[in-house]
Amino acid sequence: MTDDTPGVRRAWGWVAHLRSGGTTPWRDWAEDGDPHGRILPGAQQLELLRRLNETGTVSPELATRVLEASAPGRGRPDLELVGAVPQLAFGPAPVDPADLPDDELLRVAAGLLAEDVNAAGVPEPHQPLMTRWWRRGRYRLVGDPVLADPMRADLIRHGRPPGGRGATVLVVGTDLGTMLTHAWTARSLAIGAPGWREWLDPLVRRGTVPHRVDIARTAQGWSDRVGADRVQIVLDPTAVPSLVGVRRQLDTGPAISADGVDLARRVGQSLGLLAVPRRRRALLRETLLPRLAEVPGPALVLPPEHTDRVHRRAVRLRNDVLTAGYAVHGDPDGLLPVDRAGVPEPSVAGVLALAMHLLLKANS
């Protein structure tokens, strides 16, 4: 139970101030208040609520959820307020909430977003449209998941499922720098991933291409199963419709910012405590992803210090594709990294701002 001391009464006064929408930092707060529970909320939760109040209007329900939330994942336990409790001989020291790094607040925000996404559930699936032309252009669409997966889903929705005897395997790709960002994005929205640079840097040093975007390896695997004459490389995604026998452009999926991908990764970690893997993936892709796509921001691009290494690896990838003799749609040099507009890594401050925006919108 929280002791009744001047520091604790001051802390409860700040809690009441924050619950009412206040934004005064802890270090500037001096008024006492009555207890609103047995235990004072942690510094991470209190500072997140203060930041949310600065950003928009926080409902009483959301304020309560923030103050009662835990801080899942790797990081420090809930921390106490400096000046409210004495420093103990053991355990983490009390802190001024304003000194906490944004990562600590993100742990709480991501956990709350995971609860919102889980409560929203997975949208009802679209019933596939029936068409008598489904036998035309039998195909399998593989390769870069950010490019191939939305187009395959679009074809399925319109009554064109993949597979069938004699299907042509279309291995879709683009420049290797972009495919590396796509591989991390797809993993963040599925099984989970480390941070961008934690994942990317050792991979580039080793000269490794992730399995799903190693189009030479993917093509070889399918060639061994169905024969090289039924495997084609597609480096121009706009060519896919004609190759599968449709006259319209296919859905290429929503674009999300670098900060959006990192937030999805963090929310996915918390969702792992709430949903089995299959449902977690569906919640991330079908419930959270559309919300992230509504908030524009710069895309993730290859950090410039990796350009030379990735270029050399892309040359090898291009040569492997050409040597194998597959039909290629698009310029083979399209595998080489190019300069694209964007940012070389997510911003923790930007990810936190996005998380707060989504929390306020979902709880308005």
- The whole-number mean pLDDT for each consecutive block of 10 residues of the chain, a chain of 364 residues, reads 80 97 97 88 96 97 94 64 79 89 96 97 73 66 96 92 93 98 97 95 96 96 96 96 91 94 97 94 96 97 97 97 96 96 97 98 93
Three-state secondary structure string covering 314-329: HHHHHHHHHHHCCEEE
Paired strand residues for 329: 234
Euclidean distance between CA atoms 246 and 258, whole angstroms: 32
Q: How many CB atoms lie within 10 A of CB 327?
A: 14
Euclidean distance between CA atoms 257 and 297, whole angstroms: 5
Pairing of strands 231-234, 139-143: unpaired
At 87 the pLDDT is 74
At 1 the pLDDT is 45
At 330 the pLDDT is 96
Where does residue 129 rank: exposed (0-12), middle (13-18), buried (19+ CB within 10 A)? exposed
Contact 26, 14 (CB under 8 A): yes
Pairing of strands 168-172, 327-329: unpaired
- Looking at residue 85, what DSSP letter applies? B
* CB hemisphere CA count around 245 (13 angstroms): 17
At 191 the pLDDT is 86
Euclidean distance between CA atoms 50 and 269, whole angstroms: 24
Question: For residue 363, which of 174, 113, 34, 37 has the smallest C-alpha distance?
Answer: 113
Q: Would you state the structure tokens that stand for residue 210, as one six-digit string?
A: 């992730």
0.85 exceeded by pTM: yes
At 129 the pLDDT is 56
Q: Give one DSSP letter per residue of 37-82, joined into a string.
A: SSSPPPHHHHHHHHHHHHHSPPPHHHHHHHHH----SSSPPP-PBB
User: Residues 13, 14, 18, 24: what is their CA dihedral angle, to the nearest 10 degrees?
Assistant: 130
